[in-house]
Chain A
Amino acid sequence: MHIILNNSSMIPIYEQLMDQIKNEIISGNLKEDEVLPSVRALSGKLKISALTVKKAYDHLEEEGFVVTVHGKGTFVAATDRQLAVEARKKAVEDEFSRAIEKAKALGLTCEEIREMVEIILEE
């Protein structure tokens, strides 16, 4: 498992951690029923608070990516990978619509927004 946390990012650490674990699950690097490191182990390795790791695990559990068995550990849940990919696509879509709303509020036309997206894509 690879995890890179950016301490100067404005994205909260637990969210960065969640996203990266999700990515590992979706990409198949973490397989179904595989056990995740214990909260203490991961917090020690990443040098972050155990509560931060716990928060990330709790949120992942709520979203159905992992299952915590008390006293045994946290395991990768049997997720439908297709479904997970869909969920991520939806998240990207939501961010696009938020950005577009902002652009419209600024008074940009649809054409101008498209142009902007084209430029960013080319970069």
Chain B
Amino acid sequence: MVSVKNLVKHYGDFCLDVSMEIPDGLVTGLIGKNGAGKSTVIKSILGLVKPDSGKVMVFGKEAGKLTPKEKENIGVALSDSGFSNYLTLEDVTKILCKMYGDFHESEFRALCKSQGLPFDKDLKNFSTGMKAKARVLVALSHKADLLIMDEPTSGLDIEARNEILDIMRDYLEENEKCSILITSHISSDLEGLCDDIYMIHEGKVILHEETDKIIGQYGLLKVEEAMYAKLDKSNIIKTKKTDYGYECFTSEKQFYIDNYPGLVVENGNIDELILMMTGGK
């Protein structure tokens, strides 16, 4: 669906250098700390940022050269809704009707209603959660094959986050070939939704792995000094010294479970991954 090849973009000292793929029908997660370059990647896929070098292909065409018609096939939810705070959902519906040839009005209205979003209130009176839901529903309203969601769940409570993720899951179920690119710093959101994870740090991809493998094969070893000296370190990605021992992040926890009985091994998760990959030595 989307392929990013050696995309390079400089902003003063900051240098983004990323290659990634968003395969058809999969949910790809982009994680990284604030300022890692996530939004720049998204903007270049949308053709809003011109790369210094490299290629960004969307639907087999260069991102900057998509026609407006082709762009209708992308559903986007950025952190700012893009609609004036003084509009109501009723106004927004009218705008969307004119904007997208394939806008599904009755479905959009039904979904907004089921999420409890009023049509007659100014957006400025919406709560943070309501605004976030409206953004996501607008992105889904025109049956796009490619959805790009920049932090759709940030700033929301757990219940609202789950509701938003469920909206996306329902959409995926109905549109099996649809692909999603989602960024988030809330790892549990990504664990339960994404199929594939890219992690970027200071403008570089430092890890690309299937979610299934991160949860199933990656793990955290907790070892004491003496044990650490004896440990086979060939499958260890990162090690961090703690006050009372070492924490090692491994991509092959089974190897350590089998070979070092008694070793404390915890399941890997994305939070742990971020901390280990961007800190530690």
Instruction: Enumerate chain A residues within 8 angstroms of B195, measured Cβ to Cβ.
Output: 49-51
Q: Is the CB of B173 within 8 A of A44?
A: yes
Cβ of A109 within 8 Å of any chain B Cβ, yes or no, is no
A residues in contact with B211, CB < 8 Å: 49, 51-52
A47 to B189: give the CA distance in the assembly, Å.
9
Chain A count of residues within 8 A CB distance of the other chain: 17
Q: Which residues of B contact A103 (CB under 8 A)?
A: none
B169 contacts which chain A residues (CB < 8 A)? 44, 47
Q: Is the CB of B267 within 8 A of A8?
A: yes
| Segment among A9-17, A61-69, A87-95 that sits at the interface with chain B | A9-17
Which of A8, A14, A40 is in CB contact (< 8 Å) with B212? A14
Residue of B26, B215, B253 touching A50 (CB-CB under 8 A) = B26
The answer for the CA separation of A48 and B194 in the assembled complex, in Å, is 8
B215 with A13: CB separation less than 8 A: yes
- What CA separation (Å) do A7 and B169 show in the bound complex? 20
Contact of B173 among A13, A38, A49 (CB under 8 A): A38
Contact of A40 (CB < 8 Å), options: B172, B210, B265, B267: B172
Interface residue? B170 (CB, 8 A): yes
Q: What is the bound-complex CA distance between A55 and B27, given in angstroms?
A: 16
- Residues of chain A within 8 A (CB-CB) of B165 are 47
Asked if A13 meets B216 with Cβ closer than 8 Å, knowing A8-B267, A49-B194, the reply is yes
Smallest distance from the beta carbon of B124 to chain A beta carbons, Å? Answer: 33
Q: How far is the CA of A80 from the CA of B37 in the complex (A)?
A: 55
Q: CA of A51 to CA of B212 in the docked complex: distance in angstroms?
A: 7
Is B21 positioned at the interface, with any CB of A under 8 Å from its CB? no
Report if A49-B212 is in contact (Cβ < 8 Å); known contacts: A38-B176, A40-B172, A44-B173: yes
What does the 1/0 interface line of B196-225 toward A look like (CB < 8 Å)?
100000000000001110011100000000
Choose one: B170, B212, B267; the contact of A10 (CB below 8 Å). Answer: B267
Does A41 sit within 8 A of B, measured CB to CB?
Answer: yes
Within 8 A of A (CB), among B227-263: 253, 257
Give the distance in Å from the alpha carbon of A29 to the alpha carbon of B240 in the complex.
Answer: 48
Question: Residues 1-39 of chain A: 1 if any B CB is under 8 Å from the residue's CB, otherwise 0?
Answer: 000000110101110000000000000000000000010
The yes or no answer to B192 lying at the interface (CB within 8 A) is yes
Given the contacts A8-B267, A48-B192, A50-B195, A40 and B176 also touching, CB distance less than 8 Å: yes
Residue numbers of A with Cβ under 8 A of B are 7-8, 10, 12-14, 38, 40-41, 44, 47-52, 55
Chain B residues with a Cβ under 8 A of chain A: 25-27, 165-166, 169-170, 172-173, 176, 192-196, 210-212, 215-217, 253, 257, 265, 267
Complex A-B: 7 CB contacts under 8 Å:
A8-B267, A14-B216, A47-B169, A49-B27, A50-B26, A50-B195, A52-B216
- Please name 19 further chain A to chain B contacts, defined as beta carbons within 8 Å, in addition to the given A44-B172, A50-B26, A55-B212, sorted by A numbering: A7-B215, A7-B267, A10-B257, A12-B216, A12-B217, A13-B216, A40-B176, A41-B173, A48-B192, A48-B212, A49-B194, A49-B195, A49-B210, A51-B26, A51-B195, A51-B211, A51-B212, A52-B211, A52-B212
